[in-house]
Amino acid sequence: MAETKRIFTFLLRFIAFCTTLSAVIIMISSRQRATVLVFSFEAKYSDTPAFKYFVIVNAIVSIYGFLVLFLPSKSLLWRLVVALDAVFTILLTSSISAALAIAYVGEKGNPIAGWLPICDQVTKYCNQVKGALIVGFISVVLYMLLFLYSLHTVLNPLLLEKS
Amino acid sequence: MALQSGEKLPMFIGHIWSKQKSRWTLLGLRLLAFLAAAAATLVMVLNKQTKTFVVATIGTTPVNLTLTAKFHHTPAFVFFAIANGLVSIHNLVMIMMDLLGSKLNYKGFQFPMIASLDMLNLALVSGGANAAAFMAELGKNGNSHARWDKICDKFGPYCDRGAGALIASFLALALMLLISFLSILNHKLVNSSSHNSHNNIIALPN
Per-residue pLDDT at A17: 94
How many A/B residue pairs have CB atoms within 8 Å? 135
DSSP letter at A116 equals P
Q: Is residue A66 part of a domain?
A: yes
pLDDT value at position B203?
46
Per-residue pLDDT, B5: 44
Q: Give the residue, B138 or A110, on which the prediction is more confident.
A: B138
Residue B72 amino acid letter: H
The reply to whether B203 falls in a domain is no
Q: Any idea which of A64-78, A148-162, B84-98 has the lowest mean pLDDT?
A: A148-162
Distance CA B84, CA B129 (A): 8
- Beta bridge pairs of residue B143: B148
In a domain, B70, yes or no: yes
Between the CA of residue B93 and those of A41, A98, B36, what are the distances in Å? 52, 28, 15
Ramachandran area for residue B147 (φ above 0: left; ψ -120 to 50: alpha; else beta): left
Asked if residue B46 belongs to a domain, the reply is yes
pLDDT at A84 over 60: yes
Percent of chain A with pLDDT over 70: 91
ipTM: 0.84
- Number of structural domains found in chain A: 1
Q: Is residue B14 part of a domain?
A: no
What residues of A are in contact with residue B70 (Cβ under 8 Å)? 112
**pLDDT of A162 strictly over 60:** no
Residue A69, C-beta contacts closer than 8 angstroms, at least 6 positions apart: A10, A13, A14, A17
Q: Mean pLDDT highest for which of A32-46, A100-114, A124-138, B10-24? A: A124-138
Alpha-carbon gap, residue A17 to A11, rounded angstroms: 10
Of B68, B69, B180, B84, the residue nearest B132 (C-alpha):
B84
Please give the pLDDT value at position B6: 42
User: How many CB atoms are located within 10 Å of the residue A152 CB?
Assistant: 16
Closest-CA residue of A relative to B145 is: A47
Say if A86 falls within a structural domain.
Answer: yes
Best probe of the A interface among B148, B154, B191, by most A CBs < 10 A, is: B148
Q: What is the pLDDT of residue A66?
A: 92
Chain B: closest CA distance from residue A91 (Å)? 8
A30 CB-side CA count, 13 A = 27
Verify whether the Cβ–Cβ distance A79 to B204 is below 8 Å.
Answer: yes
A129 in any annotated domain: yes
| Residue A146 resides in a domain | yes
Question: Which residue pairs from A66-71 have beta carbons closer than 8 angstroms and sit at least 24 positions apart in sequence?
Answer: A66/A17, A68/A13, A69/A10, A69/A13, A69/A14, A69/A17
Is residue B63 one of the residues assigned to a domain? Answer: yes
Q: How far is B142 from chain A (nearest CA, A)?
A: 9
C-alpha dihedral (A38, A43, A48, A50), degrees to nearest 10:
150
Polymer length in residues for chain B: 206
Judge whether B67 is closer than 8 Å to chain A, CB to CB: yes
Range of the domain at A21: 2-29+47-162
pLDDT at A26 over 50: yes
Is residue B54, in this structure, part of any structural domain at all? yes
Closest-CA residue of chain A to B196: A158
For B69, which residue in chain A has the nearest alpha carbon?
A112
- Taking the Cβ of residue A9 and every Cβ of chain B, the question of whether any pair is shorter than 8 Å is answered with yes
Low-confidence ranges of chain B (pLDDT < 70): 1-18, 102-108, 190-206
Domain count across chain B: 1
**Contact (Cβ atoms closer than 8 angstroms) between residue B102 and residue B59:** no
CB atoms B200 and A96 under 8 Å: no
Given this model, what pLDDT does residue B116 score? 83
- Supply the pLDDT for residue B10: 52
What's residue B205's pLDDT? Answer: 54
Is residue A120 exposed (0-12), middle (13-18) or buried (19+ Cβ within 10 Å)?
Answer: exposed
Which of B81, B91, B92, B77 is closest to B120 using CA atoms?
Answer: B91
Domain membership of residue B200 (yes or no) is: no
The answer to the question of residue B143 being in a domain is yes
Q: Is B175 on the interface with A (CB under 8 A)?
A: no
**What is the DSSP annotation of B101-164?**
TTSS--HHHHHHHHHHHHHHHHHHHHHHHHHHHHHHHHHHH-BTTTTB---TTTSHHHHHHHHH
Domain residues for the domain of B169 are 28-187
